[in-house]
Amino acid sequence: MVNILLVSHSYKLATGTAELLHQMATSEALKVRVAAGIGDDHEEIGTNAVEIMEALMELTMDGEVLVLMDLGSALLSTEMALQMLDEETAARVRMCPAPFVEGAIAAGVQANMGSSLQEVYDEAMGALDAKRKQILGEEETPVEEAASVQEKEAITSDGVELRITVTNASGLHARPAATFVQTIKKHDAKLSVTNLTQGGEEVAIKGMISVMMLAARQGDELILKATGNDRQAMLEELEQLFLDNFGE
Amino acid sequence: MTIQRDDVLNWVREYAQVIEDNHEMLTELDREIGDADHGANMRRGFKAVLEKLPTVEDKDIGTILKTVGMTLLSKVGGAGGPLYSTIFMKAGMTIGAKMEMELSDWAQALEAGIAGVATLGKAQLNDKTMLDALYPALDALKQAIADGVPTGDALKRSAEAAHQGMLATVPLMARKGRASYLGERSIGHQDPGATSTTLLLESVARIWADC
């Protein structure tokens, strides 16, 4: 299991980020700790290398650790903490340069699925892309037309496809995206998705960020393409999620 | 004359007082190009050091310096925490279990501390950091030792070189730390870290003047 350490100057920022993370990554096996603030009650702004070291010792007991830091001395204090750990322990820890909040949530969702440290790291590193795409948009123009879509709906030799409309009000934002990937992970199958309405390319779904990259909003039509042994069961479960508006 | 364990204790106490007297000035410098906490952070750190010092005042120089370093690590909070902690811990490790030391021991300890700061902060000369005071101070100290200058004068030259290095940070553009976010707007301001390290070396020169 990959555990997560949030290092911040502000105890409120770290605990608030942990709270956001737990909203989407609810597994009890996932440990998220904060090392933030300074002073007896953590109320002053600053980071404490000793506290970081202690947190790392605890989190490495039963797994590896991805560390997300806000800025400045959070990085220096974490490096200092790593220097004080024995090499074997330090080797189970990876510092991640992803943006603090986005990276933490992406990492948390990925870690929650039992992914490797590398996968969790990669997912966090892609976290900014989804936000960038949502705000800046893309140059691409819609390429799919209804006719060609119909052709794609058939069962192909290597997979099953499902065409579905996003109906929940806020689209595939972070929380539905997390539910979406957690459902995929339960099955022995792979999924790629094309957002027909936004005219994007087919996206292989590896984690929450790749779902968010679809920038799927209410009313968008998606093509879900599944391969693998469990593809039918997975698509049925995903379809149900859409029909239930992801529980919103 | 050699530098005794008690001289080291007196220097640490002196620097704690210097920080107490100058914390507002340091914070003010940091307000201009940073996050306005350097003085308050150093003050909190050295208050904790003063509380901790009685538990090690009968120990050797290495233990005392390492204890100062560990205390700063958990109490300072800003980048100054790991950086000052590194200076004291590396210096303490270099000097080791000695109850007195030569000036050349101090030069080696300072060199190890500065190397630690450069590695941790990934900074170089002219990045507008504490290294801009520390490197010239170390060079001046080594030169003075090589020239056979007496301890008090050698430390004075070292402190003066630090002071010049500190003043020379004013026209520099910050490349490391919070000030680097400001880019060109960091030009024209004296670096708070270079200032507090200059105060550190000036207090060494004052307290060990007669060693």
Q: Do A51 and B74 touch (CB under 8 A)?
A: yes
Residue A146 has what pLDDT? 38
| pLDDT surpasses 60 at A143 | no
Per the CB < 8 A criterion, the answer to whether B11 and B207 are in contact is: yes
Q: What is the CATH number of the domain that holds B38?
A: 1.25.40.340
The shortest CB-CB distance from A79 to any of B41, B73, B120 is to: B120
Other beta carbons within 10 Å of B89 = 26
Per the confidence metrics, is the pTM higher than 0.90? no
Helix H segments across A115-220? Answer: 117-125, 127-136, 146-152, 174-185, 208-212
**Mean pLDDT computed over B123-138:** 97
Least confident of A151-155, A171-175, A229-233, B9-13: A151-155
Q: How confident is residue A198, by pLDDT bands cut at 50, 70 and 90?
A: confident
Q: Report CB contact under 8 Å: B41, A49.
A: no
SS3 category, B106: helix
Residue A47's closest chain B neighbor by CA?
B77
What is the number of structural domains in chain B? 1
Of B35, B73, B121, the CB nearest to A49: B73
State the DSSP H helix or E strand holding residue A227, giving kind and residue range, or none if neither: strand A221-227
The two beta strands, A64-69 and A93-96, are parallel
Question: Which tokens go with A167?
Answer: 């109906």
| A138-247: CATH topology | Histidine-containing Protein; Chain: A; (3.30.1340)
Residues β-bridged to residue A67:
A5, A95
Question: Parallel, antiparallel, or unpaired for β A93-96 and A32-36?
Answer: unpaired
Whether residue A62 lies within 8 A of chain B, CB to CB, comes out as no
Under the banding of pLDDT at 50, 70 and 90, the label for residue A157 is low
Q: Once rounded to an integer, what is the mean pLDDT over residues B20-45?
A: 95
pLDDT-based confidence at A209, cuts 50/70/90?
confident
Mean pLDDT within B163-172? 97
Q: What is the DSSP string of B27-59?
A: HHHHHHHS-S-HHHHHHHHHHHHHHHGGGTTTS
C-alpha distance from A167 to closest chain B C-alpha (Å): 43
Chain A positions in Cβ-Cβ contact with residue B74 (cut-off 8 Å): 48-51
Q: What CATH number belongs to A2-127?
A: 3.40.50.510
Q: What ipTM was predicted for this assembly?
A: 0.75
Determine the average pLDDT of the residues in A60-68: 96
Q: Using the predicted structure, report yes or no on whether residue A147 has a pLDDT greater than 70.
A: no
How far is residue A8's CA from residue A72's CA, in Å, rounded to a whole number? 10
Could you give the 3-state DSSP secondary structure of residue A204? strand
d(CA A80, nearest CA chain B) in Å:
7
Q: Is the pLDDT of residue B108 over 60?
A: yes
Separation between Cα atoms, residue B16 and residue B174, nearest integer Å: 27
Is A48 in Cβ contact with B82 (below 8 Å)?
no
Query: Do the Cβ atoms of A29 and A22 come closer than 8 Å?
Result: no
Backbone angles phi, psi at A157, to 5 degrees: -65, -35
> What's residue B35's pLDDT?
87
pLDDT exceeds 60 at position A156: no
Q: State how far the Cα of B12 lies from the Cα of B24, in Å rounded to an integer.
A: 19
Residue type, A219: G
Query: Are the C-beta atoms of A24 and A109 separated by less than 8 Å?
Result: yes
Percent of chain B with pLDDT over 70: 100
- Give the helix/strand (H/E) hosting A234: helix A231-243
Mean of pLDDT values over B138-153: 97
What is the percent of chain A with per-residue pLDDT over 70, rounded to a whole number? 92
Q: How confident is the model at residue B32 (pLDDT cuts 50, 70, 90)?
A: very high
Q: How far apart are CA A142 and CA A163, in angstroms?
A: 17
Residues spanned by the domain of B151: 3-207
Which of the four pLDDT bands, split at 50, 70 and 90, describes residue A140?
very low
Cβ contacts of B146 within 8 Å, gap of 6 or more: none
A72 is written with which tokens? 């400045």
Strand partners for A222:
A164, A195
> Which pair of tokens denotes residue B104?
């050349």
The sheet carrying A2-8 orders its strands as A32-36, A2-8, A64-69, A93-96
| Residue A162 bridge partners (DSSP) | A224
Q: What is the DSSP letter of B57?
A: T
Q: Which residue of A has its CA nearest to B79?
A: A73
Q: What is the mean pLDDT of residues B179-192?
A: 92
Question: Quick one: which of A9, A14, A15 has its CA closest to B35?
Answer: A9
Q: CB-based burial of residue A219 (10 Å sphere; 0-12 exposed, 13-18 middle, 19+ buried)?
A: exposed
How confident is the prediction for chain A on average, in pLDDT?
87
What pLDDT, on a 0 to 100 scale, did the predictor assign at position A6?
98
pLDDT 10s digits, A89-131: 999 999 999 999 999 999 999 999 889 999 999 999 999 887 8
Predicted local confidence at residue B99, as pLDDT: 98
Do B75 and A38 make contact, defined as CB atoms within 8 angstroms?
yes
- Per-residue model confidence as pLDDT tens digits over B35-87: 899 999 999 999 999 999 999 999 999 999 999 999 999 999 888 999 999 99
Residue A208 confidence (pLDDT): 84
Task: Indicate the average pLDDT of chain B.
Answer: 96
The fraction of chain B above a pLDDT of 90, given in percent, is: 92
The band of A86, judged by pLDDT with boundaries at 50, 70 and 90, is very high
- Do residues B211 and B152 lie in contact, with contact meaning Cβ atoms separated by under 8 Å? yes
- In sequence order, the 6+-apart residues with CB closer than 8 A to the CB of A95 are A67, A69, A75, A78, A79, A82
Query: Smallest Cα–Cα separation from B120: which of A96, A47, A80?
Result: A80
Chains A and B form CB pairs within 8 A to the count of 63
Quick check: A244 pLDDT over 60? yes
B83 CB neighbours in chain A (<8 A) are: 76
Nearest-by-Cβ selection for A76 from B37, B70, B120? B120
Whether the pLDDT of residue A158 is over 80: the answer is: no
Looking at beta carbons, which residues of chain A come within 8 Å of B120?
A: 76, 79-80
Select the residue from B42, B66, B76 to test the A interface by mutation, using most A Cβ atoms within 10 A: B76
Phi, psi for residue B101 in degrees, rounded to 5? -145, 160
Q: How large is the average pLDDT for residues A16-40?
A: 91
Report pLDDT for A151: 38
